[in-house]
Amino acid sequence: MARNDRQDRRPEDRPETGAADRADHPLIKVNGLHVQFGRQHVLRNISLTVPRGQTLAIIGESGCGKTVLLKSIIGLIRPTSGVVYFDGQNLTELSDKELTRQRIRFGYVFQQAALFDSLTVAQNIAFPLRQHGNYTDAEVREIVRDRLEEVGLSEAIVAKKPAELSGGMRKRVGLARALAMNPEVLLYDEPTTGLDPIMTDVINQLIIRTRDHKHVTSIVVTHNMETVRKVPDRVVMLYPLARLGEDEPQILFDGSPDAIFECRDKRVSQFVRGEARERLMEMLAANRRRSGEESEATAAN
Protein backbone atom coordinates (compact mmCIF):
# COMPACT_ATOMS: atom_id res chain seq x y z
CA MET A 1 0.00 0.00 0.00
CA ALA A 2 1.33 3.45 -0.88
CA ARG A 3 2.24 5.57 2.14
CA ASN A 4 0.99 9.03 1.25
CA ASP A 5 0.29 10.53 4.68
CA ARG A 6 2.25 13.74 5.28
CA GLN A 7 3.89 12.39 8.43
CA ASP A 8 5.03 9.26 6.60
CA ARG A 9 7.37 11.04 4.22
CA ARG A 10 11.01 11.70 4.88
CA PRO A 11 10.91 14.92 6.95
CA GLU A 12 12.98 16.96 4.50
CA ASP A 13 10.65 15.98 1.64
CA ARG A 14 7.56 17.55 3.16
CA PRO A 15 6.20 20.53 1.26
CA GLU A 16 5.98 23.86 3.05
CA THR A 17 2.32 24.76 2.98
CA GLY A 18 0.71 28.15 3.29
CA ALA A 19 3.99 30.10 3.52
CA ALA A 20 2.56 33.18 1.81
CA ASP A 21 -0.50 33.19 4.07
CA ARG A 22 1.65 32.96 7.22
CA ALA A 23 4.21 35.62 6.35
CA ASP A 24 2.15 38.45 7.83
CA HIS A 25 2.36 37.28 11.46
CA PRO A 26 5.23 36.21 13.73
CA LEU A 27 5.84 32.52 14.11
CA ILE A 28 5.77 32.78 17.91
CA LYS A 29 3.90 35.37 19.94
CA VAL A 30 3.77 35.49 23.74
CA ASN A 31 1.20 37.89 25.15
CA GLY A 32 0.92 38.72 28.87
CA LEU A 33 2.29 35.34 29.95
CA HIS A 34 2.12 34.58 33.66
CA VAL A 35 3.25 31.27 35.16
CA GLN A 36 2.80 30.40 38.81
CA PHE A 37 3.50 27.14 40.70
CA GLY A 38 1.58 27.17 43.95
CA ARG A 39 2.62 30.40 45.65
CA GLN A 40 5.74 30.78 43.55
CA HIS A 41 5.46 33.28 40.71
CA VAL A 42 8.02 32.47 38.00
CA LEU A 43 6.97 34.56 34.98
CA ARG A 44 4.97 37.77 35.07
CA ASN A 45 3.44 39.63 32.14
CA ILE A 46 5.94 38.37 29.55
CA SER A 47 5.21 39.61 26.04
CA LEU A 48 7.43 39.07 23.02
CA THR A 49 7.31 37.99 19.40
CA VAL A 50 9.74 35.86 17.42
CA PRO A 51 9.71 36.32 13.64
CA ARG A 52 10.34 33.40 11.30
CA GLY A 53 14.02 32.65 10.84
CA GLN A 54 15.20 34.67 13.83
CA THR A 55 17.66 33.27 16.37
CA LEU A 56 16.77 34.54 19.84
CA ALA A 57 18.91 34.05 22.95
CA ILE A 58 17.23 34.15 26.37
CA ILE A 59 19.58 34.88 29.24
CA GLY A 60 19.30 35.62 32.94
CA GLU A 61 20.18 34.31 36.37
CA SER A 62 19.31 30.78 37.45
CA GLY A 63 15.71 30.66 38.61
CA CYS A 64 14.49 33.62 36.56
CA GLY A 65 12.17 31.45 34.42
CA LYS A 66 14.12 30.92 31.20
CA THR A 67 13.37 27.20 30.87
CA VAL A 68 9.79 27.75 32.03
CA LEU A 69 9.37 30.25 29.19
CA LEU A 70 10.87 27.77 26.73
CA LYS A 71 8.50 25.01 27.87
CA SER A 72 5.54 27.41 27.74
CA ILE A 73 6.35 28.21 24.12
CA ILE A 74 6.13 24.52 23.18
CA GLY A 75 3.02 23.96 25.30
CA LEU A 76 4.67 21.69 27.88
CA ILE A 77 3.66 24.18 30.60
CA ARG A 78 0.22 25.77 30.51
CA PRO A 79 0.18 29.46 31.46
CA THR A 80 -1.54 30.61 34.63
CA SER A 81 -2.73 33.49 32.49
CA GLY A 82 -1.82 35.02 29.16
CA VAL A 83 -1.53 33.44 25.74
CA VAL A 84 1.12 31.73 23.60
CA TYR A 85 0.49 31.72 19.85
CA PHE A 86 2.37 29.46 17.46
CA ASP A 87 1.88 30.14 13.78
CA GLY A 88 -1.27 32.11 14.63
CA GLN A 89 -2.82 29.40 16.80
CA ASN A 90 -3.54 29.84 20.51
CA LEU A 91 -1.85 26.81 22.09
CA THR A 92 -4.11 26.93 25.17
CA GLU A 93 -7.16 26.32 22.95
CA LEU A 94 -5.77 23.20 21.28
CA SER A 95 -6.73 19.68 22.27
CA ASP A 96 -3.97 17.32 23.41
CA LYS A 97 -4.00 15.69 19.96
CA GLU A 98 -3.76 19.02 18.16
CA LEU A 99 -1.01 20.18 20.52
CA THR A 100 0.99 17.02 19.82
CA ARG A 101 0.72 17.70 16.08
CA GLN A 102 2.07 21.22 16.61
CA ARG A 103 4.96 19.96 18.77
CA ILE A 104 6.18 17.82 15.88
CA ARG A 105 7.13 21.12 14.25
CA PHE A 106 9.54 21.80 17.14
CA GLY A 107 12.88 20.23 17.98
CA TYR A 108 13.98 20.44 21.64
CA VAL A 109 17.61 20.12 22.69
CA PHE A 110 17.58 19.41 26.42
CA GLN A 111 20.10 20.78 28.90
CA GLN A 112 21.85 17.46 29.54
CA ALA A 113 20.90 15.98 26.15
CA ALA A 114 18.30 13.76 27.94
CA LEU A 115 19.17 10.69 25.90
CA PHE A 116 17.62 7.36 26.80
CA ASP A 117 20.38 5.43 28.58
CA SER A 118 19.04 2.03 27.57
CA LEU A 119 18.88 2.90 23.85
CA THR A 120 21.69 3.11 21.32
CA VAL A 121 22.61 6.30 19.52
CA ALA A 122 20.64 5.15 16.47
CA GLN A 123 17.60 4.27 18.58
CA ASN A 124 17.71 7.64 20.35
CA ILE A 125 17.79 9.59 17.09
CA ALA A 126 15.12 7.36 15.56
CA PHE A 127 12.81 7.71 18.57
CA PRO A 128 10.70 10.63 17.21
CA LEU A 129 10.54 8.97 13.80
CA ARG A 130 9.13 5.80 15.36
CA GLN A 131 6.71 7.78 17.53
CA HIS A 132 5.34 10.17 14.95
CA GLY A 133 5.76 8.52 11.56
CA ASN A 134 5.53 5.29 9.64
CA TYR A 135 8.99 4.98 8.14
CA THR A 136 10.60 1.84 6.82
CA ASP A 137 13.73 0.59 8.55
CA ALA A 138 15.78 1.65 5.53
CA GLU A 139 14.34 5.18 5.68
CA VAL A 140 15.06 5.43 9.41
CA ARG A 141 18.67 4.30 8.91
CA GLU A 142 19.15 6.87 6.16
CA ILE A 143 17.71 9.71 8.26
CA VAL A 144 19.82 8.70 11.27
CA ARG A 145 22.94 8.67 9.10
CA ASP A 146 22.08 12.06 7.60
CA ARG A 147 21.44 13.68 10.99
CA LEU A 148 24.67 12.32 12.45
CA GLU A 149 26.56 13.72 9.48
CA GLU A 150 24.90 17.11 10.00
CA VAL A 151 26.25 17.32 13.57
CA GLY A 152 29.70 16.06 12.66
CA LEU A 153 29.45 12.52 14.03
CA SER A 154 30.38 9.25 12.37
CA GLU A 155 27.94 6.46 11.62
CA ALA A 156 30.39 4.24 13.53
CA ILE A 157 28.82 5.33 16.85
CA VAL A 158 25.24 4.23 16.03
CA ALA A 159 25.48 1.10 18.20
CA LYS A 160 26.99 2.87 21.21
CA LYS A 161 25.03 3.73 24.36
CA PRO A 162 25.05 7.31 25.75
CA ALA A 163 27.33 6.26 28.63
CA GLU A 164 30.03 5.43 26.07
CA LEU A 165 30.04 8.96 24.65
CA SER A 166 31.77 12.14 25.77
CA GLY A 167 29.66 15.07 26.96
CA GLY A 168 30.12 16.90 23.67
CA MET A 169 29.11 13.85 21.67
CA ARG A 170 25.97 13.40 23.77
CA LYS A 171 25.06 17.02 23.13
CA ARG A 172 25.45 16.49 19.39
CA VAL A 173 23.40 13.29 19.44
CA GLY A 174 20.71 15.28 21.28
CA LEU A 175 20.81 17.85 18.47
CA ALA A 176 20.65 15.09 15.84
CA ARG A 177 17.53 13.71 17.55
CA ALA A 178 15.97 17.19 17.66
CA LEU A 179 16.61 17.47 13.91
CA ALA A 180 15.15 14.05 13.09
CA MET A 181 11.70 15.34 12.08
CA ASN A 182 13.14 18.35 10.21
CA PRO A 183 11.50 20.89 12.59
CA GLU A 184 10.64 24.49 11.82
CA VAL A 185 11.69 25.65 15.29
CA LEU A 186 14.64 24.53 17.40
CA LEU A 187 14.62 25.17 21.15
CA TYR A 188 17.97 24.84 22.95
CA ASP A 189 18.07 24.64 26.75
CA GLU A 190 21.62 25.42 27.92
CA PRO A 191 23.24 23.58 24.98
CA THR A 192 26.84 24.27 26.09
CA THR A 193 26.58 23.60 29.85
CA GLY A 194 29.48 21.49 31.13
CA LEU A 195 31.52 21.68 27.92
CA ASP A 196 35.09 22.90 27.47
CA PRO A 197 35.67 26.07 25.40
CA ILE A 198 36.48 24.20 22.19
CA MET A 199 33.41 21.96 22.34
CA THR A 200 31.31 24.98 23.35
CA ASP A 201 32.36 26.67 20.13
CA VAL A 202 31.62 23.49 18.16
CA ILE A 203 28.05 23.58 19.51
CA ASN A 204 27.77 27.30 18.79
CA GLN A 205 28.90 26.73 15.20
CA LEU A 206 26.44 23.85 14.80
CA ILE A 207 23.57 26.07 15.97
CA ILE A 208 24.59 28.70 13.41
CA ARG A 209 25.07 26.13 10.66
CA THR A 210 21.73 24.48 11.39
CA ARG A 211 19.98 27.84 11.28
CA ASP A 212 21.60 28.79 7.98
CA HIS A 213 21.21 25.42 6.23
CA LYS A 214 17.79 24.46 7.58
CA HIS A 215 16.32 27.99 7.72
CA VAL A 216 14.85 27.30 11.14
CA THR A 217 13.69 29.66 13.85
CA SER A 218 15.85 29.15 16.96
CA ILE A 219 15.51 30.03 20.64
CA VAL A 220 18.59 29.45 22.79
CA VAL A 221 18.50 29.57 26.60
CA THR A 222 22.07 30.13 27.75
CA HIS A 223 24.40 31.53 30.41
CA ASN A 224 27.36 31.45 28.05
CA MET A 225 28.38 34.92 26.91
CA GLU A 226 30.41 33.59 23.98
CA THR A 227 27.20 31.99 22.72
CA VAL A 228 25.47 35.36 23.17
CA ARG A 229 28.21 37.11 21.18
CA LYS A 230 28.29 34.64 18.29
CA VAL A 231 24.94 32.95 17.81
CA PRO A 232 21.77 35.08 18.11
CA ASP A 233 20.27 37.91 16.11
CA ARG A 234 18.56 39.15 19.27
CA VAL A 235 18.92 38.81 23.05
CA VAL A 236 16.25 38.95 25.77
CA MET A 237 17.26 39.08 29.43
CA LEU A 238 14.90 38.02 32.21
CA TYR A 239 15.28 38.91 35.89
CA PRO A 240 14.10 36.95 38.94
CA LEU A 241 10.74 38.19 40.19
CA ALA A 242 11.94 37.97 43.80
CA ARG A 243 14.34 40.82 43.04
CA LEU A 244 11.82 43.04 41.29
CA GLY A 245 9.16 45.44 42.50
CA GLU A 246 5.54 44.71 41.64
CA ASP A 247 5.48 47.22 38.79
CA GLU A 248 8.91 46.47 37.34
CA PRO A 249 9.05 44.55 34.05
CA GLN A 250 10.69 41.13 34.14
CA ILE A 251 12.33 41.63 30.75
CA LEU A 252 15.29 43.92 31.48
CA PHE A 253 16.71 43.94 27.96
CA ASP A 254 15.51 43.15 24.44
CA GLY A 255 17.93 44.02 21.67
CA SER A 256 21.00 43.07 19.68
CA PRO A 257 23.99 41.09 21.01
CA ASP A 258 26.24 44.13 20.53
CA ALA A 259 23.86 46.40 22.44
CA ILE A 260 23.60 44.19 25.52
CA PHE A 261 27.32 44.52 26.19
CA GLU A 262 26.89 48.32 26.15
CA CYS A 263 23.69 48.36 28.22
CA ARG A 264 23.77 50.91 31.07
CA ASP A 265 21.32 49.03 33.29
CA LYS A 266 23.59 47.90 36.12
CA ARG A 267 21.71 44.63 36.54
CA VAL A 268 22.32 43.77 32.89
CA SER A 269 25.96 44.86 32.78
CA GLN A 270 26.81 42.97 35.98
CA PHE A 271 25.33 39.79 34.56
CA VAL A 272 26.97 39.88 31.13
CA ARG A 273 30.35 40.84 32.61
CA GLY A 274 30.15 38.35 35.48
CA GLU A 275 30.59 40.99 38.18
CA ALA A 276 29.33 39.34 41.35
CA ARG A 277 30.70 41.48 44.20
CA GLU A 278 27.51 43.48 44.77
CA ARG A 279 25.37 40.34 44.63
CA LEU A 280 27.69 38.59 47.10
CA MET A 281 27.31 41.49 49.54
CA GLU A 282 23.53 41.24 49.21
CA MET A 283 23.60 37.48 49.82
CA LEU A 284 25.80 37.87 52.92
CA ALA A 285 23.53 40.60 54.29
CA ALA A 286 20.45 38.44 53.67
CA ASN A 287 22.08 35.52 55.49
CA ARG A 288 22.90 37.75 58.47
CA ARG A 289 19.30 38.94 58.61
CA ARG A 290 17.99 35.37 58.52
CA SER A 291 20.43 34.30 61.24
CA GLY A 292 19.32 37.22 63.40
CA GLU A 293 15.64 36.34 62.90
CA GLU A 294 16.29 32.70 63.77
CA SER A 295 18.19 33.71 66.92
CA GLU A 296 15.34 35.95 68.01
CA ALA A 297 12.81 33.20 67.40
CA THR A 298 14.90 30.72 69.43
CA ALA A 299 15.23 33.18 72.31
CA ALA A 300 11.48 33.85 72.29
CA ASN A 301 10.77 30.13 72.60
Rounded CA separation 143/147 (Å): 6
| pLDDT score, position 9 | 45
C-alpha distances out from residue 176 to 110, 240, 244, 299, Å: 12, 32, 39, 60
| pLDDT score, position 297 | 64
User: Which residues pair with residue 237 across a beta bridge?
Assistant: 59, 253
CB-CB contact of 190 with 223 (8 Å): yes
Let me know how many helices (H) and strands (E) the chain has, helices first: 11, 10
| pLDDT score, position 130 | 87
Would the CA dihedral through 288, 292, 298, 301 be positive or negative? negative
Q: What is the pLDDT of residues 252-269, one digit of tens each?
A: 999 999 999 999 999 999
| pLDDT score, position 110 | 85
Alpha helices by DSSP H, listed for 14-136, are: 19-22, 66-73, 96-103, 121-132
Residue type present at position 93: E
| pLDDT score, position 263 | 95
Of 99, 96, 179, 110, which Cα lies nearest the Cα of 144? 179
> What is the pairing mode between strands 106-109 and 185-189?
parallel
Beta-sheet strand order (sheet of 106-109):
106-109, 185-189, 217-221, 55-59, 234-238, 251-255
Q: What is the pLDDT of residues 156-183, one digit of tens each?
A: 999 999 999 998 899 999 999 999 989 9
Identify the three-state secondary structure at position 129. Answer: helix
CB-CB contact of 27 with 73 (8 Å): no
| pLDDT score, position 296 | 65
Rounded CA separation 126/120 (Å): 10
pLDDT under 70: residue ranges of the chain? 1-24, 276-286, 289-301
* The model's pTM: 0.83
